[in-house]
Structure 1
């Protein structure tokens, strides 16, 4: 049985990731209850960038790919309720490179997506709010926002 375009691409991306992943990041396809590898769902962790409010946190994220990948972007989600101006209450990431009507290109890799999301954590886009509380705090009460982010980071410690 031949692999779909999506699965072939994800198999190749997995090889590339293993060879050259950014320091501190984790990303691997999910293992099903029967021990099989599900290439269409990856469990990831994104480290908070050094010298930012997010430093010290290790943020869980799932990437769900469809059989239309790479023509269509994956859905990337943090845990529901994750606090950030560009993360929907469901946990879904709002980022132009993940929007097929905006910045998505089939050439964008898993690595580029994860690095882009790490960048988004510290540099929210006030022009694309996805969560009103975080957006209002970021745009109107920055000191309180910064305290809240440090609190969020402390809830996601790196594994030991």
Structure 2
């Protein structure tokens, strides 16, 4: 029955998202091969925040929910190799609100997750790095900024539309 609770909550999240979501964000359940909706897998696009090196990018993100949602957080992933100090090489996002032992609460919504991840993009937590690019962030900001700008160009919003 817990799968039913998770699916019902995700249907409510979807309805709430359709009514009110931040400008430029996209989040929707994935379409299965047979045309049905997979309510447990959401494909999202996060806009880069204005006034940051992320501006102009539209970054793909996947939210994978389990039947234990909302008791347990979704797995949140960028594409493998995404350049950010708090993104593991395989794409998983390292953020306290996504960690059941740290900041996760069942009341956290999809909207809050996505806004939190967008905030993390420009404000990485270098005390909790997920890969080696935090060295560049801390020691060679010119290199970090250049690589980040290259990534942002690869994910330019115009290419995603």
TM-score w.r.t. structure 2 length? 0.96
Distance 1:11 1:141 in 2: 45
SS of the counterpart of 1:139? helix
- Structure 1, gaps ≥5 residues long: none
Aligned-pair Cα RMSD in Å: 1.4
Cα deviation, 1:72-115, whole Å, max 9, x if unaligned, reads 00000000000100000000000000000000000000000000
Mapped pair 1:20 → 2:20 = yes
Which residues of 2 match residues 1-160 of structure 1 at below 5 A?
Answer: 4-132=4-132, 134-158=133-157, 159-160=160-161
- Contact 2:73–2:104 (8 Å) recurs in 1: yes
Distance 1:127 1:57 in 2: 26
Residue 148 (structure 1) shift: 1.1
Distance 1:85 1:60 in 2: 17
Residue 3 (structure 1) shift: 6.8
Residue 157 (structure 1) shift: 1.5
Give the count of matched residue pairs. 159
Deviating above 3 A after TM superposition, structure 1's stretches of 4 or more consecutive aligned residues are none
Residue 2 (structure 1) shift: 10
